Structures are given as C-alpha cells and as structure tokens.
Amino acid sequence: MVNLSKYKDFIEKGIVYLATSDTKCKPNLVCVMGCKLVAKDIICATDNMMDKTRKNIKRNKQIALVCGKGQKWYQFKGTVAYHATGKWFKFVKELPFNKQYDPQAAVLVKVKEVYDLWEGERLS
C-alpha cells in the first residue's frame, strides 16, 4: 500500500493537476484545488466544474495526478471512484473551499504508484 503522508502539503495546499482519458485515449487535464488526503493512499477531490473529466471518469477508471512546487513534483497513478451521493459527497459539500461552488460529486483516487518527476524515478 502507498503512503502519501509526506505529500500531504502538496496535495492539500497547492494545485493538483488531474489527467484522464476517454475511451479513444484522448487525454484531458484539469487543475483542482481544495483536495484532501483522506486515507494513506486515497486523495479526495471535488467535481465543481468537470464536464469532460466527469465523462471520462465514468468510462475509464484509470487516472493520474500531478502536484508539487519548486523542484519537488510528484505524479500519482491509480483508480478513481465518483460519488454523487452518500458520505463522500456530503464530505466535499461541507469543505470550506467548496462553499463558493456547487459541488457535483466527490472524486476519490486510490493511489497505487508514486513517481518523482524531478528525479524521474518510481518511488512506490
């Protein structure tokens, strides 16, 4: 199991770039803010304005995220679950960051691989 604890500040305090692709492998990239590390290997983002991303997530569960600052940049690869109802949706609706938006869903990413983009190596 991946432990993302040491990346928490990058995940929660910065911008996270979220990459998906459709069934024809056409890529899509969005930036999201207000992400939360909700378990050692799970990142929670909010769908506030994810049209193409939402469609891609529903068809293709593979996802990649990038976050960092300065000379420290990391890529996380894993699978995604989309929650438009239930406890995770309630969780994102109550986040202070989302008060200015109309959240559509919680996007939970179970991270399976971590890469150091500056050094070009796999960390887990």
* pLDDT tens profile 105-120: 999 999 999 999 999 8
d(CA 25, CA 104): 24
CA gap 57, 107 in Å, rounded: 9
The mean pLDDT value for 19-36 works out to 94
Query: pTM score, two decimals?
Result: 0.94
Label residue 24 by pLDDT band (50, 70, 90).
Answer: very high
Given pLDDT bands bounded at 50, 70 and 90, which one contains residue 90? very high
**72-87: pLDDT as tens digits:** 999 999 999 999 999 9
* Parent domain of 54: 5-122
Identify each DSSP E strand in the chain by its residue range. 16-21, 27-32, 36-39, 42-47, 62-69, 72-83, 105-116, 121-122
User: At 100, which CATH number?
Assistant: 2.30.110.10
How many distinct structural domains can be found in the chain? 1
Identify whether the C-beta of residue 2 lies closer than 8 Å to the C-beta of residue 40: yes
